[in-house]
Amino acid sequence: MSIVRYDNPARTLDKLFYFDPFTEFARAFGQPATSTPAPSPWSPAVDVAETEDAITLHVELPGMKLEELDIELTGDTLTLRGERQRVKEEQKDNFVRVERSYGRFQRSFTLATPIQHDKVSAAYRDGILEITLPKSEETKPRKIAVTAEA
What confidence score (pLDDT) does residue 86 get?
A: 74
Question: Whole-prediction pTM value?
Answer: 0.63
What confidence score (pLDDT) does residue 1 get?
A: 46
36-49: pLDDT as tens digits = 444 456 789 999 99
What confidence score (pLDDT) does residue 35 get?
A: 46
User: What does pLDDT average to over the chain?
Assistant: 78
- Proportion of the chain in helix, strand, coil states, percent, rounded to 5: 20, 30, 45
For residues 103 and 41, give the distance between their C-alpha atoms in angstroms, rounded to a whole number: 8
20-78: pLDDT as tens digits = 666 666 667 766 554 444 445 678 999 999 998 999 999 999 888 888 899 999 988 99
Pinpoint the residues of the chain covered by CATH 2.60.40.790. 41-137
Q: What values do phi and psi take at 56, rounded to 5?
A: -125, 130
Fold of 41-137: Immunoglobulin-like (2.60.40)
What confidence score (pLDDT) does residue 15 get?
A: 52
Residue, of 149 and 131, whose pLDDT is higher:
131
For residues 83 and 46, give the distance between their C-alpha atoms in angstroms, rounded to a whole number: 16
* Type of residue at 10: A
**Angle in degrees, CA 26, 29, 31, rounded to 5:** 55
